[in-house]
Structure 1
């Protein structure tokens, strides 16, 4: 393998190791009325020559709810019940979700991509 190939393989690996897509997390706290949680990522990180370390908790993570109409009834919202120590799946949105959470169209010009601050809880394991 050439030095250039090794360089680009290492660079690609580094980029992918820092790309957040989805991750199991432990619920630390949950506000059911606001549907936001504080979660602890369960994956650890390791730098060369260092011991593995935990990732920092993530605050104010929105929790998705479901809307259902059962047997032709009125539409009802079903809000999840999360308890501390529940294991959930958090997904990390492609771009910043601050304005999208308000229902606004956004121009994705932000440099924030796949950031832990754009996590959304989609379910419980």
Structure 2
């Protein structure tokens, strides 16, 4: 019975290690105009026999950005360069990411392939699931 349990435990661990969810990565290069980065995952690949190796570089990983509506277009008071002023922001504020080589980021992996992503429901066409090729940078850790 103990051998059966060890086999099942090892098998379950191997399956879990093959499902990518979220991982830390280091930015190698950031392409600001495209909002994409080349990254190196900081976790290593672990094989069934216990050997480990680093992942290869993942290129052109999209970086999330944020869009906010500030105070819903209503006036508010703000201190700008030491001077209190009344401000009204009528447009959405878009916070564009800026990364530097060496930044440590948090990367998520899509459930299915993102190759055919559009603004409509789509068939991913590819059978990849939780794959490193479908990484998205969620934010900066350090």
User: TM > 0.5 between the two?
Assistant: yes
Q: Which TM-score bucket, shorter chain as reference?
A: 0.7 to 0.9
Q: Per the alignment, do residues 117 and 54 of structure 1 end up closer, same or farther by CA in structure 2, a change over 3 Å counting?
A: same
Q: Is the 8 A contact 2:115 2:124 kept in 1?
A: no
Taking structure 2 as the reference length, the TM-score comes to 0.78
Q: Which residue of 2 aligns with 1:55?
A: 55
Q: Secondary structure at the match of 1:90?
A: strand
Take 1:60 and 1:121, find their aligned partners in 2: how far apart are those partners?
A: 10
Q: Following TM superposition, by how much is the alpha carbon of 1:6 offset from its aligned partner in structure 2, in angstroms?
A: 3.0
Trace 1:1-125 onto structure 2 (pairs within 5 A).
Answer: 1-47=1-47, 48=49, 50=51, 52-71=52-71, 72=73, 73=89, 74-100=91-117, 102-107=118-123, 110-125=126-141
Q: Is the 8 A contact 1:99 1:105 kept in 2?
A: no
Q: Which stretch shows the higher mean deviation, 22-31 or 8-17?
A: 8-17
Take 2:124 and 2:100, find their aligned partners in 1: how far apart are those partners?
A: 34
Taking structure 1 as the reference length, the TM-score comes to 0.88
Structure 2 gap segments, 5+ residues each: 74-88
User: Which one has the largest radius of gyration?
Assistant: 2
Q: How many residues align?
A: 123
Name whichever structure is richer in strand by fraction. 2
Q: Following TM superposition, by how much is the alpha carbon of 1:108 offset from its aligned partner in structure 2, in angstroms?
A: 5.1
Structure 1 gap segments, 5+ residues each: none
